[in-house]
Amino acid sequence: MPTPSPPKPILVFLHGAGTSASIFRLQSRRLAAQLSPHFDLVYLDAPHACPAGPGVLPFFEGCGPYLRWVDDEAPERERAYWAEGEGGDVDRLVREVRGLGSSGGSGRRRVVGVVGFSQGAKVGMEVVRRLEGMGRMGEEEEGNGVDVKVVVAVCGTAPFQGGGDEREKGFRGSLEKGVVKAASVHLIGEDDPWRPESEKLVEFFDEARRKVIVFEGGHQMPAAEWVNTQAVRVVLDACGL
């Protein structure tokens, strides 16, 4: 009998606010087409219902429920989301991501990266930061199906986005917790109204291991092939493929 091929490593996809995993599959299809030969792509749904997000209607009319990871409309609501503990949304997502990695007859499936759009990008940042913290505390054996090497942040927003003293205080407090050590590539829409947020999110990643690509477009997944190809190259290099 032929030897089974080892399982592909996993990339976790986190959608933006007011969409869903199924919608994100369509939105990210150009990037996914280049990644899927090398990785298993796992799309997760956020836990909270909300109105449809920017640009979702009318194209995705009737494709609800529309979901979001965090209520970030006010600093106090967002602060509750980032709180650590067994009952916290972020820690539940961390456990879900860790649970994706498993051992099987043909080898171990490993989660090696996160792709996040808009709100999903900042949530992905925090998930990876906490996973890296577990490794530093010697807890890697518990989550041995996770070895995050790369983050792709597309039109990301930052923790405590927006202006005001309370938001700025929250942003700085979050940044003081440290930066993500994994390699990262940041795809930023030139005309994205949330571009300043995308640029703030870059600060949460290791300066020596991050790459920023500005593309023509707004708050959207990039359509240009060269943008997706450059992002995929960063992912493949980070994963040694």
DSSP H helical ranges for the chain: 21-27, 29-35, 75-82, 89-100, 119-136, 165-175, 195-202, 225-238
DSSP secondary structure string for all residues of 5-55: PPPPPEEEEE--TTB-HHHHHHHTHHHHHHHTTT-EEEEE--SEE----TT
pLDDT score, position 142 = 45
In tens, the pLDDT along 76-129 reads 889 888 887 666 899 999 999 999 986 544 567 899 999 999 999 999 999 999
* pTM summary value: 0.93
User: pLDDT (tens digit, 9 = 90+) per residue, 218-233?
Assistant: 999 999 999 999 999 9
Q: Is 10-238 CATH 3.40.50.1820?
A: yes
Residues 206, 138, 121, 85, CA torsion sign: negative
Domain boundaries, the chain: 10-238
Coil, helix or strand at residue 145: coil
pLDDT over 50 (residue 73): yes
Q: Cβ of 3: how many Cβ atoms within 10 Å?
A: 6
Which residues in 28-37 are b (16+ Cβ under 10 Å) and which e? beebbebbee
